[in-house]
């Protein structure tokens, strides 16, 4: 049963290890009422007992002494692993699922001490807390713990402030959701060039040590510091997401931005001379083609139709595209283009409501609470056109690539937050 371990480990962590539960066959989503009835009249697929009888027993059977216990269960994490040979330790890390499945650099005391030289912060300083998703428990970690995972990822001390900044967000890169989320980290400011990040030709490819290890460190931190990535317990993504290996770790190509087009961190209120990381969350990117003989901007709304109406959009534009938008189509800033996209990307109310999963889980509950614009949109005629993205904050634009051709990528990623790297130097 796909959810049995999730339920058992979850109720243990919530302090009620004997909470009573029963299962019906899965899935329920999209199943007709009569099938639901049949499931309820049948047996729990795990215990083989009647579902209804298990429910009644859960309500009426007396508690045991174990059920009423109070107190605390401490779970200390030892600082060191039992000494062993390098081969055996590699095996142990792999078997304990402390890795992403790829070989790691063993975090010896000497290597971790070297990594700690990359920051002025003390090894014991608290950095943050991370959880696989909001209902799950949050684990805490120090600078030293972040250094251990940075070493494992293959990072160098010069990468460490960026990795610490990422850790300070407390954001996991491996969310529990059955939808298989992915994340993205965007580095801005002088630190990009100081550590030789690649924002030019092949910016998204495996061509830069810094891009590779910073992205990987986020995955290892999510697993080891944020309790994520245990399939069937803290990870339920049905298909998984290949982006989870590196988390789209990129540096914005700020040097290619024309006058008036600000880099992401300046858009978010930082100075151009500040170094920052920004995090995004979504599911994927695609590589739309375009008609070279026509203006580029009017083609964007068409290509964004694949994005869920309740989602966000992020465009990764090659500098050649940005130059065309600026010089030939009159867009003098990212903000101007974002506003154009928000105003010109529309869907009918009927199509919007057809996004079953998002509407059922988020739109309807928010509309019932009176949240706008959803409450008003729900009352409109089915053929009425509404913005696909309710506001401009749902749209992000980044400069990325080496200018070898007029290509771009678009995805359903939404911006989360920006934090300082300089504070972790």
Partner 1 sequence: MKKKFWPWITAILLAALSISGVSQAQEPAITVLNPLGQPPAIERVPMAPRIGNLDGKTIYIVDIGFTDTHQLFTEMQALLEAKYPRTSWVVRTKRGTYFNDDQELWNEIKEKGHGMIMGVGH
Partnered with residue 399 across adjacent β-strands are: 317
Least distance from partner 1 to the Cβ atom of residue 55, Å: 6
Name the minimum Å distance from CB 285 to partner 1. Answer: 26
- Residue 382 buriedness (CB in 10 A; 0-12 / 13-18 / 19+): exposed
Task: Please state the closest distance from residue 7 (CB atom) to partner 1, in A.
Answer: 10
- Alpha-carbon span 38 to 24, nearest angstrom: 10
Task: Tell me whether residue 149 or residue 278 sits nearer to partner 1 (CB atom).
Answer: 149
Q: Could you say which of 8, 13, 156, 209 contacts partner 1 (CB under 8 A)?
A: 13
Is residue 97 at the binding interface for partner 1, with CB under 8 A as the rule?
A: no
Closest distance of CB 163 from partner 1, Å = 13
**Contacts of residue 320, Cβ cutoff 8 Å, sequence gap at least 6:** 401, 403, 404, 405, 406, 407
Contacts of 76 (CB under 8 A, 6+ apart): none
Of the residues 4, 9, 52, 262, which one makes contact with partner 1 according to CB under 8 A: 52
Residues 6+ apart with CB under 8 A from 180: 237, 238, 239, 240, 241, 283
239 contributes a contact to partner 1 by CB under 8 A? no
Is residue 30 a contact point for partner 1 (CB under 8 A)? yes
Q: Which is nearer to partner 1, 72 or 292 (CB)?
A: 72
3-class DSSP state of 87: helix
For residue 268, how many other CB atoms are within 10 A of its CB? 16
Cβ proximity to partner 1, 131 vs 188, nearer residue: 131
Figure out which of the listed residues 10, 24, 264, 352 binds partner 1, where binding follows CB under 8 A: 24
CB 185, CB 264: distance < 8 Å: no
Among 100, 112, 166, 198, binds partner 1 (CB under 8 A): 112
Binding residues among 157-196 for partner 1 as defined by CB under 8 A: 178
**What minimum distance in Å lies between the beta carbon of 300 and partner 1?**
30
Query: CA nearest 235: which of 180, 165, 183, 272?
Result: 180
Interface residue with partner 1, options 4, 8, 31, 320 (CB under 8 A): 31
Least distance to partner 1 from the beta carbon of 33, Å? 6
CB of 282: closest distance to partner 1 in angstroms?
A: 18
Rank residues 30 and 269 by Cβ distance to partner 1 and give the closer one.
Answer: 30
Contact flags string 57-96 toward partner 1, x per CB under 8 A = -xxxxxx---xxxxxxxxxxxxxxx-xxxxx-x---x---
- Angle (CA) 146 147 151, round 5°: 120
- Quote the least distance from Cβ 57 to partner 1, whole Å: 9
The tokens for 148 are 């251990």
Residues in contact with 196: Cβ distance below 8 Å, sequence separation at least 6, in sequence order: 208, 209, 210
Q: CA 95 from chain center: how many Å?
A: 25
What would the two tokens of residue 311 be? 């989602």
Stretch that binds partner 1, among 12-20, 248-256, 299-307, 394-402 (CB under 8 A): 12-20
Judge whether 212 and 218 are in contact, CB under 8 Å: no
CB nearer partner 1, residue 150 or residue 250: 150
Q: CB of 327: closest distance to partner 1 in angstroms?
A: 44
If we measure between CA atoms, which residue out of 225, 207, 90 comes closest to residue 148? Answer: 225
Q: Which of residues 349-378 bind partner 1 (CB under 8 A)?
A: 356-357, 360-362, 365-366, 368-369
Binding mask 115-144 for partner 1 (x = CB under 8 A): ---------------x---xx-xxxxx--x
Q: Least separation, in Å, of the C-beta of 203 and partner 1?
A: 29
Rounded Cα distance, 215 and 170, in Å: 15
Backbone φ, ψ for residue 70 (5° rounding): -120, -175
Binds partner 1 (CB under 8 A): choice among 27, 48, 101, 269: 27
Question: By rule CB under 8 A, what count of residues binds partner 1?
Answer: 86
């Amino acid at each position: 049963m796909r959810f049995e371990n999730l339920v058992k480990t979850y109720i243990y962590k919530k302090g009620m290890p004997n909470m009573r539960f029963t299962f019906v066959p899965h899935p329920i989503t999209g199943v007709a009422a009569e099938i639901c009835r049949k499931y309820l009249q049948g047996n729990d697929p795990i215990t083989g007992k009647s579902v209804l009888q298990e429910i009644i027993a859960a309500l009426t059977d007396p508690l045991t002494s174990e059920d009423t216990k109070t107190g605390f269960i401490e779970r200390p994490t030892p600082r060191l692993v039992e000494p062993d040979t390098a081969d055996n330790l590699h095996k142990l890390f792999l078997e304990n699922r402390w890795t992403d499945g790829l070989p790691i650099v063993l975090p010896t005391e000497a290597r971790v001490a070297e990594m700690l030289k990359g920051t002025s912060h003390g090894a014991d300083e608290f950095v943050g807390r991370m959880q696989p998703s909001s209902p799950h428990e949050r684990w805490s970690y120090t600078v030293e713990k972040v250094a251990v995972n940075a070493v494992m990822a293959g990072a160098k001390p010069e990468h460490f402030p960026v990795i610490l900044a990422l850790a300070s967000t407390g954001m996991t890169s491996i969310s529990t959701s059955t939808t298989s989320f992915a994340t993205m980290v965007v580095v801005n400011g002088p630190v990009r060039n100081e550590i030789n990040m690649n924002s030019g030709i092949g910016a998204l490819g495996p061509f830069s040590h810094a891009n590779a290890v910073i992205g990987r460190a986020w995955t290892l931190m999510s697993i080891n510091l944020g309790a994520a990535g245990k399939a069937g317990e803290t990870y339920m993504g049905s298909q998984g997401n290949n982006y989870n290996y590196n988390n789209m770790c990129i540096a914005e190509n700020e040097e290619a931005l024309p006058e008036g087009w600000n880099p992401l961190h300046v858009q978010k209120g930082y100075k151009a001379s500040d170094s920052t990381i920004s995090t995004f969350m979504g599911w994927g990117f695609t590589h739309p083609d375009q008609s070279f003989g026509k203006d580029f901007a009017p083609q964007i709304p068409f290509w964004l139709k694949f994005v869920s109406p309740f989602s966000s959009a992020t465009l990764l534009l090659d500098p050649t595209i940005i130059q065309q938008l600026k010089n030939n189509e009159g867009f003098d800033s990212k903000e101007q283009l974002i506003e154009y996209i928000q105003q010109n990307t529309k869907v009918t109310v009927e199509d919007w409501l057809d996004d079953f999963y998002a509407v059922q889980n988020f739109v309807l509950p928010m509309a019932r609470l009176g949240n706008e614009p959803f409450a008003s949109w729900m009352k409109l005629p089915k053929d009425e056109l509404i913005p696909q993205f309710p506001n401009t904050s749902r749209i992000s634009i980044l400069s990325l690539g080496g200018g070898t051709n007029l290509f771009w990528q678009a995805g359903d990623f939404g911006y989360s937050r920006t934090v300082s790297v300089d504070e972790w130097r």
